[in-house]
Chain A
Amino acid sequence: MKPVRSMVLVSSDPESIQKGAQEVFQRLQQEVQAFGLEEEIAAAMVGDVGRHDAIPLLIVYPEAVIYGPVKPDDVRFLVEEHLLKGRIAAGLQAPARELSGRIAWLSARKGTLPAEQRIVLERAGLIDPEDIEDYIAHNGYEAVGRALSEMTPAEVIEEITRSGLRGRGGAGFPTGTKWRFVAKTQSDTKYIICNADESEPGTFKDRLILEGDPHSIIEAMTLAGYAVGAHEGYIYVRGEYGLAQERLGKAIQQARQMGFLGEDIFGSGFAFDIHIHSGAGAYICGEETALIESIEGKRGEPRSRPPFPTTYGLWGKPTVVNNVETLANVPPIIRNGAAWYRRFGTSSSPGTKVYTVLGSVNVTGLIEVPMGITLREVIAIYGKGMKRGTSFKLAQTGGSSGSIIPASLQDTPMDFDSFARAGVSLGSGALLICNDDTCVVDLATVLLNFFRGESCGKCTPCRIGTERTHQILTNLSEGIGKLSDLDDLLVLADGLNQLSNCGLGQTAAAPIRDILKHFRAEVEAHVRLKVCPTGVCSMSGRQAKAA
């Protein structure tokens, strides 16, 4: 990469493209040429930069000045003022209030926020994701180079095990252990699968990693392949993530051309290659065995386990399935060592966690923070408090399969074990912050509607259980529920949890148990008083009866 004076990035998430990011980028290239600045200025489209309030955004580094929303006709003025004359074009800057907790500019202002730490999102928003040289210039492919030349596969697994890295897809299984299972299974063929079927509502962290730093996933999968003895990998990308698929495709091509994928990587004799497989719209395919079925060209219905994919995975071969965020942690660990990694987070859950903060806070967006931070800190520091003076009522973690966290648990450290002890789940990394205008019955109805639609229908407890619980919740919200419905809900919730074949059904009822445990009075008001305390539910059945 040649040295440049300024780096200009244009946001190119789907919504930015919709709002003209492509035109802005073209004009930028034209104007940079028109002013004869092409030797000094590098420009790139960088995917989703984590904020959507003023897109398309145009960010100038190293100053980290953010302009937005930028119209194509603004570009000439911007180039002339900022890039030629070196003055900030003040009228065009994005609103300052929003400038916090966002990924693109955070590295530039590291240290201004407490506890901010970037491992996974270190490069996202800072490098040109379509330029492998930019990745290499930022320590890219250093880890795989070191591993292939200086470490044995067993040493790679040992390093990952000692780092304490745990799966970020929701379950928190130790990554090193999973790799060791596959490594010790005898087979001529093994596979590495990157689970990029991120479909939990409210979660889009993996999309940002894939769009902003696709080479990090290629490097991580190559390391995993080397560690367990696999020579082929699949990235299963959610069907809706068009830009991520495009970027990954380009990245794989570039990596092959540079010899980071293919035969004899780094002259080590190790061969590895990666295919992209697009999903087609099915939440259940985020479950690892359903994902494998889908790659094999079938309905995405989960298999019975055991056997687990580590012994019987894709095409019946031992297979590692890791989430995008999990994999993104791997190259930094190999590069910097397990001891370095353990400095972040808590002792049982080292490292960082990426969250999407959504809902009724002043600043929504993506943050990467150490494991063990509390909800109160997230809301106060990164969310900049609740909106319009409302108060915090609950947070819904981890998309639909997470928990409903009441305000009383907002000081519980957010790590796998502390949350498990409190009876809640960290989930996939979405934090939907709800204020006191939120009705828990309404929220649970929406969540169960999701599972009702996305249950694959293979096993009865899930197919029927999600439908029945949704119907009962709907009755409650219409004011025609009975007190015995609440007992039925708990029975159905137990059935879902204990009898379902896979994680979808097992966690589907978590919202029901959570609201009955923490907000029972509010739920009962819908039955006893026929009143929705927040005024959200229609209670239309009651009115119909009265009429």
Chain B
Amino acid sequence: MTTGVKDDRDVRSVVQAAVTRHGATQEALIPVMAEVNQALGYLPAQALEEIGKSLRLPSSHLVSVASFYRMFSTQPRGRHVIQFCESAPCHVMGGRELLRALEGELGLVPGATSADGRWTLLTASCLGVCGVGPVVIVDGDIYGAVTPERVPEILARYP
């Protein structure tokens, strides 16, 4: 995960690589966006513009799609993204206490990025790992059956 405004050339080459892999059709839009979002950490305005040019789609369409899916972001995120699952199976296993611990430890509310650019805290409707609630995903790493006590130790793994 990286932050900050991207060099235009970087953005263009990332978009080109994605378009080459998935094709320049409307059907390829979501796979292309996913790859660009993964490479750059988010979808900067330049990236949307480049994708629009390659796929011959209006920017209104690009913004509407980019804002619809949870896995895409049009804003830069912190170096580490924490996703907290707020679904019912995690909730009944102690999710509420866990979210409080996360908020307290990070000093962040859901949706916010820390001032030093280290953390972004997000809530998710369901992360699909319901057997081991409550669940937190940091970057790609899944942590199941997380107790509030484990929070500092987990966060310390991500400098």
Inside 8 A of B68's CB, which chain A residues have their CB? 282, 299-300, 456
**Once the chains bind, are B130 and A201 in contact (CB under 8 Å)?**
yes
CB closest residue in chain B, given A299: B68
Q: How far is the CB of B139 from chain A (nearest CB, A)?
A: 11
How many chain B residues touch A (CB < 8 A): the figure is: 41
Q: Which among B71, B128, B131, B141 is the interface contact of A18 at CB below 8 angstroms?
A: B141
Q: How far is the CB of A430 from chain B (nearest CB, A)?
A: 7
Q: Which among A15, A280, A359, A432 is the interface contact of B132 at CB below 8 angstroms?
A: A15
For the complex, give the distance between the alpha carbons of A204 and B87 in Å.
13
Inside 8 A of B31's CB, which chain A residues have their CB? 277-278
Question: Restricting to B93-127, which residues have a CB under 8 Å from any CB of A?
Answer: 93, 124-127
Inside 8 A of A201's CB, which chain B residues have their CB? 87-90, 125-126, 130
CB closest residue in chain B, given A301: B68
CB closest residue in chain A, given B127: A240
**Once the chains bind, are A396 and B141 in contact (CB under 8 Å)?**
no
* B144 sits at the interface (CB 8 A): yes
CB closest residue in chain A, given B33: A280
Binary flags per residue of A430-441, CB closer than 8 Å to B gives 1, else 0: 101010001000
Inside 8 A of B33's CB, which chain A residues have their CB? 280
* B45 sits at the interface (CB 8 A): no
Inside 8 A of A28's CB, which chain B residues have their CB? none
**Once the chains bind, are A202 and B144 in contact (CB under 8 Å)?**
no
CB closest residue in chain B, given A207: B128
* A297 sits at the interface (CB 8 A): yes
Binary flags per residue of B5-30, CB closer than 8 Å to A gives 1, else 0: 00000000000000000000111111
Q: How far is the CB of B127 from chain A (nearest CB, A)?
A: 6
Q: Which among A278, A295, A399 is the interface contact of B34 at CB below 8 angstroms?
A: A278
Inside 8 A of B61's CB, which chain A residues have their CB? 298
| Residues A443 and B88 in contact in the complex (CB < 8 Å), given A240-B127, A283-B125, A297-B29 | yes
* A446 sits at the interface (CB 8 A): yes
**Once the chains bind, are B92 and A359 in contact (CB under 8 Å)?**
yes
* A52 sits at the interface (CB 8 A): yes
**Once the chains bind, are B126 and A283 in contact (CB under 8 Å)?**
yes
**Once the chains bind, are B28 and A280 in contact (CB under 8 Å)?**
no
Q: How far is the CB of A247 from chain B (nearest CB, A)?
A: 15
Q: How far is the CB of B110 from chain A (nearest CB, A)?
A: 11
Q: How far is the CB of A57 from chain B (nearest CB, A)?
A: 13
**Once the chains bind, are B130 and A202 in contact (CB under 8 Å)?**
yes
* A175 sits at the interface (CB 8 A): no
Inside 8 A of A365's CB, which chain B residues have their CB? 131
**Once the chains bind, are A296 and B27 in contact (CB under 8 Å)?**
yes
* B143 sits at the interface (CB 8 A): yes
| Residues A18 and B142 in contact in the complex (CB < 8 Å), given A201-B126, A296-B26, A364-B131 | yes
For the complex, give the distance between the alpha carbons of A296 and B71 in Å.
18
**Once the chains bind, are B34 and A450 in contact (CB under 8 Å)?**
no
For the complex, give the distance between the alpha carbons of A280 and B67 in Å.
11
Question: Restricting to A432-466, which residues have a CB under 8 Å from any CB of B?
Answer: 432, 434, 438, 443, 446-447, 449-450, 453-454, 456
Inside 8 A of B144's CB, which chain A residues have their CB? 15, 52
CB closest residue in chain B, given A298: B65
* B129 sits at the interface (CB 8 A): yes
Inside 8 A of A443's CB, which chain B residues have their CB? 88, 91-92
**Once the chains bind, are A358 and B143 in contact (CB under 8 Å)?**
no
* A216 sits at the interface (CB 8 A): no
Question: Restricting to B30-69, which residues have a CB under 8 Å from any CB of A?
Answer: 30-31, 33-34, 61, 64-65, 68-69
Q: Which among A204, A434, A446, A453 is the interface contact of B129 at CB below 8 angstroms?
A: A204
Q: Which among B72, B130, B141 is the interface contact of A204 at CB below 8 angstroms?
A: B130
For the complex, give the distance between the alpha carbons of A278 and B35 in Å.
11
Q: How far is the CB of A23 from chain B (nearest CB, A)?
A: 15
**Once the chains bind, are B88 and A14 in contact (CB under 8 Å)?**
no
Best-surrounded residue of B30, B69, B133, B143 (most CB of chain A within 10 A): B30
For the complex, give the distance between the alpha carbons of A349 and B30 in Å.
37
Inside 8 A of A240's CB, which chain B residues have their CB? 127-128
For the complex, give the distance between the alpha carbons of A359 and B130 in Å.
10
CB closest residue in chain A, given B65: A299
Inside 8 A of B143's CB, which chain A residues have their CB? 18
For the complex, give the distance between the alpha carbons of A14 and B83 in Å.
15
* A346 sits at the interface (CB 8 A): no
Q: How far is the CB of B132 from chain A (nearest CB, A)?
A: 5
Q: Which among B69, B88, B124 is the interface contact of A396 at CB below 8 angstroms?
A: B88
**Once the chains bind, are A280 and B71 in contact (CB under 8 Å)?**
yes
A52-B131, A202-B130, A277-B30 are known contacts; what are 17 more A-B pairs with Cβ within 8 Å? Answer: A201-B125, A204-B131, A238-B128, A239-B34, A239-B69, A280-B34, A281-B124, A282-B70, A297-B28, A297-B30, A298-B61, A299-B65, A356-B130, A359-B89, A359-B92, A399-B126, A438-B92
Binding site for A on B (CB under 8 A): 25-31, 33-34, 61, 64-65, 68-72, 86-93, 124-133, 140-145
User: Can you offer 22 A-B residue contacts whose CB atoms are under 8 A?
Assistant: A14-B129, A18-B143, A201-B87, A201-B88, A202-B88, A202-B130, A238-B128, A280-B30, A280-B70, A282-B70, A283-B126, A296-B26, A297-B65, A298-B26, A298-B64, A356-B131, A358-B133, A359-B89, A400-B88, A446-B86, A446-B88, A450-B126
Binding site for B on A (CB under 8 A): 14-15, 18, 50-52, 198-204, 207, 238-242, 277-283, 294-300, 356, 358-360, 364-366, 396, 399-400, 430, 432, 434, 438, 443, 446-447, 449-450, 453-454, 456
